[in-house]
Amino acid sequence: MTAEPKDRLIVALDVPDLPAAERLLDDLAGVIAWAKVGLELFNAAGPAAVEAVKSRGLRVFYDGKFHDIPNTVAGAARQAAGMGVDMFNVHAAGGEEMLAAAAQAARESGDERPLVIAVTVLTSIDEDMLREELAVGEPMDDHVIRLARMAQRAGCDGVVASPREIESVKGACGDDFLVVTPGIRPSWAKADDQKRTLGPREAVAAGADYIVVGRPITRADDPRAAAQRVLEEMSS
């Protein structure tokens, strides 16, 4: 994917209410092109959160992480497309039939359909948790590749994967298969609860199509300056 850093940075609006999101969006005006509406904000404000982003001329990644029976997920996908989001995600762990239902529902929404991205393994999960808590017997890298290949077969546009698995996913699924990468932590930011992290520069160099950055920007004393700093790192 060839694009300017601004078109590859997604700022996560993980805030508790719509006024807080709108303040952030206004602070970041002219600096960003994408914003993520996740579970916290959407449960507080509903579709108004999506409209707040769209009304400012920005693209929306709806981080709804759908995970249910195929019929229910297809319905949710149709509703997400109807809201005008540009990208939404589903859990790959829901299986190939569920992923295919989401991808088909998105395609049926028309030429301006949203991208459908499958979540592989959350970036808060490490190898020990994968093995001991989730009882997955294969290494993290192998498991992520397995899920990515399944998502590709199902017709998804790409996956959400940690920075550590970008190159493996690209190698297994090809350069055109998108990788959206959370767990981005610049050297000047805290890791927080993220375990499989990388910096913006390193993630882009590894092949990330989009990087998602939340707290290092949204909780900075100056979110605008922090976003510009991330963009500079992506360009360097």
CATH number for the domain harbouring residue 216: 3.20.20.70
Number of H helices, E strands in the chain: 11, 8
Counting Cβ atoms within 10 Å, is residue 193 exposed (0-12), middle (13-18) or buried (19+)? Answer: exposed
Contacts of 113 (CB under 8 A, 6+ apart): 81, 106, 107
Contact (Cβ atoms closer than 8 angstroms) between residue 87 and residue 60: yes
Write down the pLDDT at residue 236.
80
Confidence tier at 38 by pLDDT (50, 70, 90): very high
158 SS3 class? strand
Containing domain of residue 193, as a range? 5-235
Write down the pLDDT at residue 190.
65
- Catalytic, out of 6, 36, 54, 65: 65
**Is pLDDT at 2 greater than 90 in this prediction?**
no
Mean pLDDT of the region 2-19: 94
Write down the pLDDT at residue 219.
92
Write down the pLDDT at residue 21.
98
Give tens-digit pLDDT for 158-202: 999 998 899 999 999 999 999 999 988 887 666 555 455 688 999
Give tens-digit pLDDT for 113-150: 999 999 999 988 999 999 999 999 999 999 999 999 99
Q: Is 36 a residue of the active site?
A: no
Helices in 108-222 by DSSP H: which ranges?
A: 127-132, 140-154, 166-173, 200-206, 215-218
Tokens representing 77? 């996908």
DSSP lists the bridge partners of residue 230 as: none
Give tens-digit pLDDT for 50-95: 999 999 999 999 999 999 999 999 999 999 999 999 999 999 999 9
Q: How many structural domains does the chain have?
A: 1
Give the rounded distance of the alpha carbon of 93 from its chain centre: 16
Tokens representing 7? 């078109």
Write down the pLDDT at residue 187.
74
Give the rounded distance of the alpha carbon of 85 from its chain centre: 13
Write down the pLDDT at residue 1.
57
